[in-house]
Amino acid sequence: MTIPSTSLKGQVALVTGSRRGIGEACALIFAEAGADVVVCDWISDTGELDAVKKKIVKIGRKALAVHADVKIQADVDSLFKKTMAEFGRVDILVNNAGVGDGGKNVEKSDYDPVVWQKRAAERMAKMATTPAIADLDIEAWDSVMENNVKSALLCTKAVAPIMVKQKYGNIINIASVRAASRGRGAMANYSVSKNNLVRLTEGLAGDMARFNIRVNAISPGGIITEMMRYVWDNPEARKNMGANMPLASDLIGPETIAWAALYLASDLSKYVTAQNITVDAGMMVSGVYI
């Protein structure tokens, strides 16, 4: 028996939200596996996106960096137009772009541990007497749904005719363990959006399999990214989270999600579709959802 190859030689991968974190890790591992890579982000003036492009080129693959806010149709149209002009095909799409419950991008400069802990304490105190729905920020809700669900829908819609023409394609949606949240946690903006993304993954897989296009999701647990800085930059919170991720006893790096993405993008998973792979170092079976 021959083990299928993880080589992506000759393929083109497009990864959204790829200036850092999980998106960057996926872009780099695809390049290491032989793919040319398109990286894009809605923030492109910090040097981070160009730095990822340079890393891909250093690996020995071709790269294209594009400024794109993928919840906006015109930006998505421009992104795929530039990609096709440069490479003429898209074999792998990773819908990674997204935001947290606040509906905004999280930057290092936004996090102040004292302020964050004060706000957390205030929220907990208020929840003792007021249901969370009473204070739900509808503007933030709309932003989370647009950034986490609509963006994936728009990019998939754009890539579908390309992949159908190629008679091949691979789409990977980055969800979250919070897609499986229950109780009060299930109504949070982020949880609902990621649950919707998992359901969308299943629907797309059923729709596209006959065209030899696979669609899967990955649900990360506690990952060291800016979105989780409030945990990994807080020794007590990090220790508590690590205790509930027994395979690592700590949060895990974004490269662990990229390893799962490589599996889904390669022939190792040739007949895998409509699946949601959880990468959480045992968090879900420890009974803790973030």
Quick check: 37 and 15 in contact, CB under 8 A?
yes
Task: Please identify which residue in the block is written with the tokens 């398109």.
Answer: 38
Single-letter amino acid code for the residue at 69: D
- Residue 249 tokens read as 């006893």
6 and 33 in contact (C-beta within 8 Å)? yes
Which of 190, 230, 263, 271 is an active site residue? 190
- DSSP, res 13: E
Cα–Cα dist 142/138, whole Å: 6
H or E element that contains 64: strand 63-67
Q: What is the four-CA torsion angle of 34, 170, 175, 62, rounded to 10 degrees?
A: 30
Nearest Cα neighbor of 276 from 209, 178, 189 is 178
Tell me whether residue 190 is one of the annotated catalytic residues.
Answer: yes
CB 98 within 8 A of CB 178: no
- On whether the CB atoms of residues 5 and 86 are closer than 8 A, the answer is no
Residue 261 CB coordination number (10 Å): 28
Q: Contact at 8 Å (CB) between 47 and 279?
A: no
Query: Residue ranges of the alpha helices (H) in the chain?
Result: 21-32, 48-59, 73-87, 113-127, 138-145, 151-166, 189-208, 229-232, 235-243, 255-265
- Cα(139)–Cα(8) distance, integer angstroms: 40
Residues tagged active-site: 190
